[in-house]
Amino acid sequence: MSIISIPRCAVVVGGGGALGQEISQQLKAEGIATISLERSSLEASLDISELKVVIEKLNPSAIVNCIAITGLDKCFLDPIRAFEVNGIFAIKLACISKILKVPVLQFSTDNVFSCDVKGVLYRETDDPKPATVYGMSKLLGEACKIRTNAPFYVVRLPLLFGPSNRNQIIHRFIKQIIKGIDIRVSSDVFSTPVYTPDVADFTVKWVKGKIQIGSVTHLTSGQLTTLHDLVVSISDKIACNGKGMVLAASSSEFSSVEAKPLHGGLASELIPTIDLESAITRYGEWIESNLKEIINE
Ligand SMILES: NC(=O)c1ccc[n+]([C@@H]2O[C@H](COP(=O)([O-])OP(=O)(O)OC[C@H]3O[C@@H](n4cnc5c(N)ncnc54)[C@H](OP(=O)(O)O)[C@@H]3O)[C@@H](O)[C@H]2O)c1
């Protein structure tokens, strides 16, 4: 009888999302065997025993979970779905990680903190206290209680921007600016933004075992900036005629079904911060070389 050995690979779940796409692409570019699963191949509501069978068959050396419902309003309006996808699914993965001894990288958010004190950067040792349904569901997904002895690593992220974040806030603003439309952007919403390709670079290092992280780690630029200032800095890097203006606004001008957390931002006691200025320059260069495509999206 011959035994067929399945080569090990990195498995990215939520591979069709903004972060999942970028991570899958960088893993493959690094020559790492990667299976990227979109929602059509893996639905978060899958029963845990079925999920275990799916994962066992893939024989992964590492699992990266990019599945999430990220919109604050979406989570508020359908909390059961938010807790199922952001919370329970991650707990199922943590259980499987423990049984199969496969490390899992679980992305979380600064929204697990209250984000209500100006100027505060939250550290890994600070106590979470989410103020939104999104934050609560992501905190459940950190699977703290069952993490003992499971190789389940939580990486909390601040606001993300980058080429793959096409349906998200920063890209939507940039698209309007280069179309010559003036925009109003909140100057009272803070974060310590990170460029999505830098999160992917970090993930590649983690998959390769080249980076040591804690059970909870903050990946951050550590540079507190407002949404308005970030968009202005990106716009300044784009050389094109007839750009729209970026005007400062109050977040109260924009309607939302749940009060938005204004004072996000992360610091890390475990890993170095990521340079924001260089990220903005790289993003500006990417925008300039993809202007036509972005305008026609
Ligand atoms: N983007 C940010 O600024 C930011 C900031 C902090 C933390 N994070 C964290 O980073 C991670 C990735 O976020 P992202 O920006 O990549 O979000 P995203 O673009 O919305 O991607 C989420 C992915 O999850 C999939 N998904 C949603 N519900 C599902 C379900 N029931 N079954 C299977 N797949 C499902 C989506 O599939 P469909 O496309 O088919 O819906 C999508 O591919 C999340 O953990 C998020 O909390 C993001």
Establish whether residue 16 lines the binding site of ligand 1, counting it when its CB lies within 6 angstroms of any ligand atom.
yes
Is residue 194 lining ligand 1, measured as CB closer than 6 Å?
no
Q: Cα of 182 to ligand 1 centre, how many Å?
A: 29
Q: Is 176 in the pocket of ligand 1 (CB under 6 A)?
A: no
> Does residue 72's CB lie within 6 angstroms of at least one atom of ligand 1?
no
Please indicate whether residue 199, judged by its CB atom, sits closer than 6 Å to ligand 1. Answer: no
- Asked if residue 64 has its Cβ within 6 Å of ligand 1, the reply is no
- Ligand 1 centroid to Cα of residue 258, in Å, is 20
pLDDT for position 1 = 46
From atom 10 of ligand 1, which residue's Cα is the shortest distance away?
A: 107
pLDDT of residue 232: 98
Q: How far is the CA of 69 from the centre of ligand 1 (A)?
A: 5
Tell me the pLDDT band of 259, cut-offs 50, 70 and 90.
Answer: confident
Q: pLDDT > 90: what percent of the chain?
A: 91
Q: What is the pLDDT of residue 255?
A: 85
Q: Is pLDDT at 5 greater than 70 in this prediction?
A: no
Nearest residue (CA) to ligand 1, atom 45: 107
3-state DSSP of the chain: CCCCCCCCEEEEECCCCHHHHHHHHHHHHCCCCEEEECCCCCCCCCCHHHHHHHHHHHCEEEEEECCCCCCHHHHHHCHHHHHHHHHHHHHHHHHHHHHHCCCEEEEEEHHHCCCCCCCCCECCCCCCCCCCHHHHHHHHHCCHHHCCCCCEEEEEECCEECCCCCCCHHHHHHHHHHCCCCEEEECCCEECCEEHHHHHHHHHHHHCCCCCCCCEEECCCCCCEEHHHHHHHHHHCCCCCCCCCEEEECHHHCCCCCCCCCECCECCCCCCCCCHHHHHHHHHHHHHHCHHHHHCC
8 confidence band (pLDDT: 50, 70, 90): confident
Ligand 1 within 6 A of 36 CB? no
Top mutation candidate among 66, 81, 92, 152 for ligand 1, by most atoms within 8 Å of CB: 66
Quote the percentage of the chain above a pLDDT of 70. 96
Q: What is the pLDDT of residues 44-94, one digit of tens each?
A: 999 999 999 999 999 999 999 999 999 999 999 999 999 999 999 999 999
The pLDDT, as a whole number, for residue 3 is 52
pLDDT of res. 230: 98
The confidence band for 11, taking pLDDT boundaries of 50, 70 and 90, is very high
CA of 228 to the centre of ligand 1 (A): 24
Q: Is 69 in the pocket of ligand 1 (CB under 6 A)?
A: yes
Q: How confident is the model over 197-237, as pLDDT tens digits?
A: 999 999 999 999 999 999 999 999 999 999 999 999 999 99
Q: The pTM is what? A: 0.96
d(CA 76, CA 57): 35
Query: Can you give the residue ranges of every domain in the chain?
Result: 9-295
Question: What type of residue sits at position 147?
Answer: R
- Cβ of residue 21 lying under 6 Å from some atom of ligand 1: no
User: For atom 7 of ligand 1, which residue has the closest CA?
Assistant: 109
Residue that is written with structure tokens 């940039």 in the block: 174
Residue 297's pLDDT band, with cuts at 50, 70 and 90, is confident
Q: Is 157 in the pocket of ligand 1 (CB under 6 A)?
A: yes
pLDDT, tens only, 263-280: 999 999 999 999 999 999
Query: What is the DSSP pairing of strand 190-191 with strand 225-226?
Result: antiparallel
44 lines ligand 1 (CB under 6 A): yes
Assign domain 9-295 to its CATH architecture: 3-Layer(aba) Sandwich (3.40)
Q: How far is the CA of 183 from the centre of ligand 1 (A)?
A: 26
Query: What is the mean pLDDT of the segment spanning 186-203?
Result: 98
